[in-house]
Amino acid sequence: MAITSILVPTDGSPMAERALRHAVEEYPDAAITVFHVLDFRGSDSYPGGWGEAPGTWEEWLEHAREEEQALFEQVRAVAAEYDHDIETDSIVGQTTRAILDYVETHDFDLVVMGSHGRTGVSRILLGSVAETVTRRSPTPVVVVR
């Protein structure tokens, strides 16, 4: 089966960038969509969070969208290094569930995502998005480390 469409979830981490680089290097002819989830639960700066929190949900979302646009500029620049255009998309939600829902409602041949490589207690406490997506995705998943 030829790989013609790929989803690359990103959180802006170095491992997510490695996953994007892997996708454009290994599948230069595939259509690639970089997907970002705005998940306030993963942020320490949401209303009521530990960081310098904005006062309202709307302020948090506006700030998160601004950061997301900077992230999308970075991923476009990475893809441009390989002379590859990408699509970007995002949603507000819980990261793992949003990725799985997106995979289920779009026609991707492959998901390529980074893993932070947590082990032991930190993996148990923090969970693993890559592991859960790999176990539950109806589409094959490549995890880049």
pLDDT tens digits, one per residue of 2-16? 999 999 999 999 999
**What is residue 26's predicted lDDT score, i.e. its pLDDT?**
97
Kindly indicate whether the domain formed by 5-144 is annotated with CATH number 1.10.10.10: no
Nearest to 94 by CA among 9, 34, 23, 15: 9
pLDDT of residue 96 exceeding 60: yes
**What is residue 5's predicted lDDT score, i.e. its pLDDT?**
98
Q: What number is the average pLDDT over the span 53-74?
A: 85
pLDDT of residue 123 exceeding 70: no
Token pair in block for residue 124: 């148990």
**pTM for the model:** 0.86
Task: Write the pLDDT tens digit of every residue in 17-57.
Answer: 999 999 999 999 999 999 999 987 765 554 544 445 556 77
Characterize 50-59 residue by residue with b for buried, 16 or more Cβ atoms within 10 angstroms of its Cβ, and e for exposed: eeebbeeeee
- Name the average pLDDT for the chain: 86
